[in-house]
Amino acid sequence: MVNVYDVKAEPLINAAANDLEDDFEAPDWTEFVKTGVGRERTPEQDNWYHIRSAAILRRIYTDGPLGVSKLRTIYGKRKNNGHAPEHHSKASGKVIRTALQNLEQAGYVETEEGEGRKITDEGKSFLDEKASSLV
Protein backbone atom coordinates (compact mmCIF):
# COMPACT_ATOMS: atom_id res chain seq x y z
CA MET A 1 0.00 0.00 0.00
CA VAL A 2 1.31 3.43 -0.99
CA ASN A 3 1.49 6.17 1.62
CA VAL A 4 2.83 9.72 1.95
CA TYR A 5 6.44 8.60 2.37
CA ASP A 6 6.48 6.85 -1.03
CA VAL A 7 5.68 9.87 -3.24
CA LYS A 8 7.30 13.24 -3.83
CA ALA A 9 6.01 16.12 -1.76
CA GLU A 10 5.11 18.68 -4.42
CA PRO A 11 2.68 16.57 -6.52
CA LEU A 12 1.05 15.28 -3.33
CA ILE A 13 0.59 18.79 -1.93
CA ASN A 14 -0.87 20.08 -5.21
CA ALA A 15 -3.31 17.16 -5.45
CA ALA A 16 -4.38 17.61 -1.84
CA ALA A 17 -4.75 21.38 -2.31
CA ASN A 18 -7.18 20.85 -5.18
CA ASP A 19 -9.41 18.73 -2.94
CA LEU A 20 -9.10 21.09 0.02
CA GLU A 21 -10.64 23.84 -2.11
CA ASP A 22 -13.88 21.84 -1.92
CA ASP A 23 -13.66 21.42 1.87
CA PHE A 24 -13.21 25.07 2.88
CA GLU A 25 -12.80 28.49 1.34
CA ALA A 26 -9.81 30.74 1.77
CA PRO A 27 -10.42 33.79 4.00
CA ASP A 28 -11.06 37.14 2.33
CA TRP A 29 -7.78 38.64 3.51
CA THR A 30 -5.60 36.09 1.68
CA GLU A 31 -5.31 38.23 -1.46
CA PHE A 32 -3.71 41.10 0.49
CA VAL A 33 -1.50 39.41 3.09
CA LYS A 34 2.16 38.41 2.97
CA THR A 35 3.10 34.99 4.33
CA GLY A 36 5.71 36.38 6.72
CA VAL A 37 7.80 39.37 7.75
CA GLY A 38 10.71 38.21 5.59
CA ARG A 39 8.64 38.25 2.40
CA GLU A 40 8.53 41.30 0.18
CA ARG A 41 5.33 40.59 -1.75
CA THR A 42 2.09 38.67 -1.52
CA PRO A 43 2.00 35.17 -3.07
CA GLU A 44 1.39 35.08 -6.81
CA GLN A 45 -0.68 31.87 -6.98
CA ASP A 46 -4.44 32.21 -6.58
CA ASN A 47 -4.80 29.06 -4.46
CA TRP A 48 -1.71 29.63 -2.27
CA TYR A 49 -3.76 29.33 0.93
CA HIS A 50 -4.94 25.82 0.06
CA ILE A 51 -1.41 24.84 -1.00
CA ARG A 52 -0.07 26.04 2.37
CA SER A 53 -2.87 24.16 4.17
CA ALA A 54 -2.03 20.96 2.30
CA ALA A 55 1.67 21.43 3.07
CA ILE A 56 0.86 21.89 6.76
CA LEU A 57 -1.29 18.75 6.72
CA ARG A 58 1.52 16.74 5.12
CA ARG A 59 4.06 18.11 7.60
CA ILE A 60 1.86 17.15 10.56
CA TYR A 61 1.47 13.67 9.03
CA THR A 62 5.24 13.17 8.74
CA ASP A 63 6.56 14.95 11.84
CA GLY A 64 3.99 14.16 14.50
CA PRO A 65 2.18 16.67 16.68
CA LEU A 66 3.26 20.21 15.77
CA GLY A 67 2.21 23.58 17.14
CA VAL A 68 1.89 26.97 15.52
CA SER A 69 5.30 28.14 16.77
CA LYS A 70 7.17 25.17 15.27
CA LEU A 71 5.29 25.55 11.97
CA ARG A 72 6.16 29.27 11.90
CA THR A 73 9.83 28.33 12.17
CA ILE A 74 9.54 25.66 9.45
CA TYR A 75 7.84 27.97 6.93
CA GLY A 76 10.01 31.01 7.74
CA LYS A 77 12.89 32.24 5.60
CA ARG A 78 15.95 34.46 5.64
CA LYS A 79 15.03 38.14 5.87
CA ASN A 80 16.95 40.61 3.71
CA ASN A 81 18.14 43.42 5.99
CA GLY A 82 19.78 45.52 3.30
CA HIS A 83 23.48 45.99 4.08
CA ALA A 84 23.13 44.22 7.43
CA PRO A 85 23.48 40.45 7.62
CA GLU A 86 20.44 38.31 6.88
CA HIS A 87 18.68 36.54 9.75
CA HIS A 88 15.91 33.95 9.92
CA SER A 89 12.41 35.34 10.32
CA LYS A 90 9.35 33.30 11.18
CA ALA A 91 6.33 32.91 8.93
CA SER A 92 2.98 34.53 9.63
CA GLY A 93 1.20 32.97 12.61
CA LYS A 94 -2.25 34.12 11.46
CA VAL A 95 -1.98 32.21 8.18
CA ILE A 96 -0.84 29.01 9.91
CA ARG A 97 -3.35 29.33 12.75
CA THR A 98 -6.35 29.80 10.42
CA ALA A 99 -5.14 26.96 8.18
CA LEU A 100 -4.97 24.67 11.21
CA GLN A 101 -8.44 25.77 12.32
CA ASN A 102 -9.85 25.05 8.85
CA LEU A 103 -8.15 21.64 8.78
CA GLU A 104 -9.55 20.94 12.23
CA GLN A 105 -13.09 21.86 11.15
CA ALA A 106 -12.69 19.60 8.11
CA GLY A 107 -11.75 16.76 10.46
CA TYR A 108 -8.18 16.19 9.24
CA VAL A 109 -6.33 17.31 12.40
CA GLU A 110 -7.16 17.46 16.09
CA THR A 111 -5.70 19.24 19.10
CA GLU A 112 -3.27 17.25 21.23
CA GLU A 113 -3.15 18.68 24.75
CA GLY A 114 0.16 20.47 25.30
CA GLU A 115 1.74 19.26 22.04
CA GLY A 116 -0.08 21.08 19.22
CA ARG A 117 -2.09 19.45 16.46
CA LYS A 118 -1.93 15.82 15.35
CA ILE A 119 -3.42 14.16 12.31
CA THR A 120 -6.62 12.15 12.58
CA ASP A 121 -7.37 8.82 10.91
CA GLU A 122 -9.50 10.70 8.38
CA GLY A 123 -6.55 12.98 7.56
CA LYS A 124 -4.21 9.98 7.17
CA SER A 125 -6.60 8.22 4.82
CA PHE A 126 -7.10 11.45 2.84
CA LEU A 127 -3.36 11.89 2.24
CA ASP A 128 -2.76 8.18 1.63
CA GLU A 129 -5.56 8.16 -0.94
CA LYS A 130 -3.97 11.15 -2.71
CA ALA A 131 -0.56 9.43 -2.61
CA SER A 132 -1.93 6.22 -4.09
CA SER A 133 -3.62 8.13 -6.92
CA LEU A 134 -0.25 9.67 -7.88
CA VAL A 135 1.56 6.35 -8.34
- Annotate 13-72 with DSSP letters as a single string: HHHHHHHHHHH-PPPGGGGT--SBTT-SS--SSTTHHHHHHHHHHHHHHHH-SB-HHHHH
User: What percentage of residues in the chain have a pLDDT greater than 70?
Assistant: 100
What pTM, to 2 d.p., does this model score? Answer: 0.91
Closest to 117 in 3D by CA, of 105, 129, 132: 105
Domain spanning 4-134, CATH architecture:
Orthogonal Bundle (1.10)
Q: Is the pLDDT assigned to residue 125 strictly greater than 90?
A: yes
* CB 65, CB 120: distance < 8 Å: no
Over the chain, what is the mean pLDDT?
Answer: 92
User: Alpha-carbon torsion 67, 76, 6, 58, what sign?
Assistant: positive
Check residue 70 and give its pLDDT.
94
pLDDT confidence tier of residue 39, bands split at 50, 70 and 90 = confident
Sequence-separated (6 or more) residues with CB below 8 Å from residue 26: 47, 49, 50
Mind listing the pLDDT tens digit for each residue in 26-37? Answer: 999 988 888 888
Mind listing the pLDDT tens digit for each residue in 40-85? Answer: 888 888 899 999 999 999 999 999 899 999 999 999 988 988 999 9
> What are the φ/ψ torsions at residue 34 (nearest 5 degrees)?
-85, 160
Check residue 44 and give its pLDDT.
85
